[in-house]
Amino acid sequence: MSFTYTHRFIALAYSFLLAFSFQSTASNDIVLRTCEISAASDPNVRLDFCLRSLAADPASDTADLYELGAISIELIGRNATSTRRYIDRLLKKKKKLSPDSYVRPRLSDCKELYSDAVETVGDSSAEYARKRYEEVNVKLSSVMDAVTTCEDGFKEMEGGISPLTKRNGDVFELTAIALCILNMHP
């Protein structure tokens, strides 16, 4: 009699394990497919960056395409906010710089650009929830412009080096991913 219960338990446990692995594979497939399509359609999106970024959010495990879009916009917001805070820290450290140093005014410009970008990403998220994809596209495109403007400001000076290149690149690429996902919506 215990032999039958043991077999039933093992069969039931195996069924749960099998069902869970199918669910996990299916949910990861949408992230993989979304990133593959994004990387193939936009030269600004790297497959590995896309996969790492979207998979970093635990909600992506069970997300559909719409939810991945929301996750991608949230990732932009987090990164833009983090970059704005980083700029604040740099400005505090750079107080010893002379007022005519090329770094301080550019960091100040970037702080303003990122402050606006954070607000714009919040607006984009609200528009996305309303499925107003054209508005989201315009707003996210302006975030890309802001990031590019920030980075380009450091290149205006001969030999100018941006302390924000990696962060600007990450926000830019996250935004490119979100725009690709947006373009996949019917």
Q: What gap in Å lies between CA 80 and CA 115, rounded to an integer? A: 8
Euclidean distance between CA atoms 130 and 126, whole angstroms: 7
Structure tokens at 3: 């032999």
**Could you tell me the pTM of the whole model?**
0.82
Under 8 Å between Cβ of 53 and 16: no
> pLDDT per position in the chain (186 positions), as tens?
444 433 443 333 333 333 333 334 344 689 999 999 999 999 999 999 999 999 999 999 999 999 999 999 999 999 999 999 999 999 888 666 555 577 889 999 999 999 999 999 999 999 999 999 999 999 999 999 999 999 999 988 777 789 999 999 999 999 999 999 999 987
CB count in 10 Å sphere of residue 52: 11
CB 57 within 8 A of CB 74: yes
**Tokens read off for 131:** 């499925």
